[in-house]
């Protein structure tokens, strides 16, 4: 009888391995402003068990998507905030509350796992607090949920300033955008044509048990996995046959209208995915710049895995006059400005963005984008094409930025790409999060006319 009870308890209790890692990751994001990707990377390197890794990621995402409600519940349930050195206990509670609100596991098992997490993380003296808070939530769940109210911040899991900004720019699509930001995205793959064909890659993935489909979009190098997968286990990935890149980002290649022999500048290259796509498709003289030396290392590592080569240089692309070591004075046939932006188009993939980004950040980014456009346009050869792209959905970074730049230039011609996915704007095309299962993305292609 004792053995049967133990087996029943083991089945009813979710594995606790991922929960402490999720709590630690959330503390790094919400208390210290670290990106979720980096926080998870630091935690997951200590977890080998696949289900635990998946659980860590899922719970961290769940808390960040529901953070206003979870934070409000904690404020109602925890009468006296813990000392700063014990703040990790709040994130243990946050993970459990988010999990209880999802209701994917038995409630008593979630509570038990949270108590165990407090012990694993050296907070055993607070395990009674964790237990009491969560059991009170279960007793008073209906009243506590009603007390949260119907505030848009609570309801959508977005900060107020971002809700208002999306409403101003996309009034007819605001609710859909906010809802799509809270849905898990598919995993998009880019096939390296220098390694194999897309059909060969699809067959290898399916033979390995991955449900890979070819999207019904003009994306000739794309495959889509509906579920997340451990990247290193994808057949051909380690050998350079596959990369992770959303379909919207893969469209950048088509806007550039590339052909062999052209001289190309990728001005804000890191992490290097778009430059790699270019090198996989055409033989060009490519120079990739980035202001961050460490991020440039990741570009080089990516290219090495893919078997690609091109020139790399650390430089501030907006400071052409002060950087003579990377430019020899010859104009470029193509310039890509994949500009630093608010990343408001990829919130469904990076839920921490909504809490780390501030309105003042957007203002600074708009100025940076303007500086890049003004500095690099003179480097474009007559007849050449400049592509400006962002993973933002905010008009200040996209349509308004494009309008201001085009109106300030006499020899600048926007290029229409009605054949490509996206919503036609006055200038450029905008993809909203979830359109065709793509991330939010903006593209603008400009041709420099002869003077």
- 391 belongs to the catalytic site: yes
The whole-angstrom separation of Cα 207 and Cα 311 is 37
CA distances from 351 to 8, 29, 61, 63, 243 (A): 35, 11, 6, 9, 22
- Marked catalytic residue, from 268, 341, 391, 412: 391
The whole-angstrom separation of Cα 145 and Cα 151 is 12
Retrieve residue 12's tokens: 């009813």
Residues 6+ apart with CB under 8 A from 405: 370, 373, 374, 377, 388, 412
Q: Cβ distance 96 to 130 under 8 Å? A: yes
The whole-angstrom separation of Cα 281 and Cα 269 is 17
* Residue 330: alpha-carbon gap to chain centroid: 35
Supply φ then ψ for residue 426, to 5 degrees.
-55, -45
Q: Cβ distance 299 to 324 under 8 Å? A: no
Task: State the first-to-last Cα distance of the chain, in angstroms, to the nearest integer.
Answer: 89
314: exposed, middle or buried (C-beta count within 10 Å: 0-12, 13-18, 19+)?
A: middle
Other Cβ atoms less than 10 A from the Cβ of 52: the count is 20
The whole-angstrom separation of Cα 68 and Cα 177 is 18
**β strands within 296-408, DSSP E:** 311-314, 332-338, 380-390
SS3 187: strand
b (16+ CB within 10 A) / e for 188-216 = bbbbbeebbebeebbebbeeeebebeebe
Q: Which uninterrupted H or E stretch holds 23?
A: helix 18-32
- Would you list the DSSP string of 81-109? PPPGGGTHHHHHHHHHHHHHHHT-S-HHH
Listed residue (363, 361, 392, 348) closest to 157, CA to CA: 348
The whole-angstrom separation of Cα 322 and Cα 308 is 29
**β strands within 339-428, DSSP E:** 380-390, 412-414, 423-424
Annotated catalytic residues are 391
């Amino acid at each position: 009888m004792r053995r049967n009870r133990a087996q029943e308890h083991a089945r009813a209790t979710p594995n606790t391995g991922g929960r402490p890692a999720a709590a630690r990751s959330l503390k790094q994001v919400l208390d210290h402003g670290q990106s979720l990707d980096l926080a998870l990377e630091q935690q997951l390197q200590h977890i080998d068990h696949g289900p635990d890794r998946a659980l860590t990621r899922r719970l961290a995402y769940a808390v960040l998507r529901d953070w206003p409600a979870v934070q409000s519940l904690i404020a109602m349930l925890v009468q006296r905030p813990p000392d700063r050195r014990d703040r990790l206990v709040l994130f243990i509670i946050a993970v459990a509350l988010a999990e209880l609100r999802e209701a994917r596991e038995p409630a008593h098992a979630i509570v038990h796992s949270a108590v165990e997490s407090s012990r694993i993380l050296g907070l055993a003296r607070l395990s009674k607090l964790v237990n009491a808070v969560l059991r009170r939530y279960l007793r008073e769940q209906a009243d506590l949920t009603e007390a949260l109210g119907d505030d848009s911040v609570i309801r959508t899991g977005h900060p107020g300033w971002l809700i208002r900004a999306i409403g101003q720019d996309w009034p007819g699509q605001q609710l859909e955008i906010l809802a799509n930001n809270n849905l898990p995205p598919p995993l998009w793959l880019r096939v390296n044509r220098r390694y194999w064909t897309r059909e060969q890659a699809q067959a290898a993935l399916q033979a390995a048990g991955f449900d890979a489909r070819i999207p019904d979009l003009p994306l000739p190098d794309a495959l889509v996995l509906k579920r997340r997968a451990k990247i290193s286990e994808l057949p051909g990935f380690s050998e350079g046959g596959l990369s992770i890149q959303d379909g919207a980002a893969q469209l950048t290649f088509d806007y550039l209208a590339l052909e062999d022999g052209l001289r190309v500048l990728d001005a804000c290259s890191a992490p290097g995915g778009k430059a790699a796509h270019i090198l996989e498709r055409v033989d060009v003289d490519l120079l990739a710049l980035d202001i961050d030396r460490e991020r440039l290392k990741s570009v080089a590592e990516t290219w090495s895995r893919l078997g690609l080569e091109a020139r790399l240089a650390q430089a501030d692309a907006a400071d052409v006059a002060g950087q003579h070591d990377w430019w020899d004075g010859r104009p470029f046939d193509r310039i890509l400005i994949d500009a630093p932006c608010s990343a408001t188009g990829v919130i469904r993939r990076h839920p921490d963005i909504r809490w780390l980004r501030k309105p003042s950040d957007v203002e600074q980014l708009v100025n940076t984008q303007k500086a890049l456009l003004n500095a690099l346009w003179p480097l474009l050869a007559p007849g050449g094409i400049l592509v400006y792209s962002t993973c933002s959905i905010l008009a200040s970074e996209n349509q308004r930025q494009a309008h201001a730049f085009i109106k300030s230039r006499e020899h600048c011609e926007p290029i229409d790409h009605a054949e490509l996915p996206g919503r036609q704007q006055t200038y450029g095309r905008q993809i909203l999060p979830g359109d065709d299962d793509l991330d939010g993305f903006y593209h603008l292609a400009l041709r420099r006319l002869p003077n």
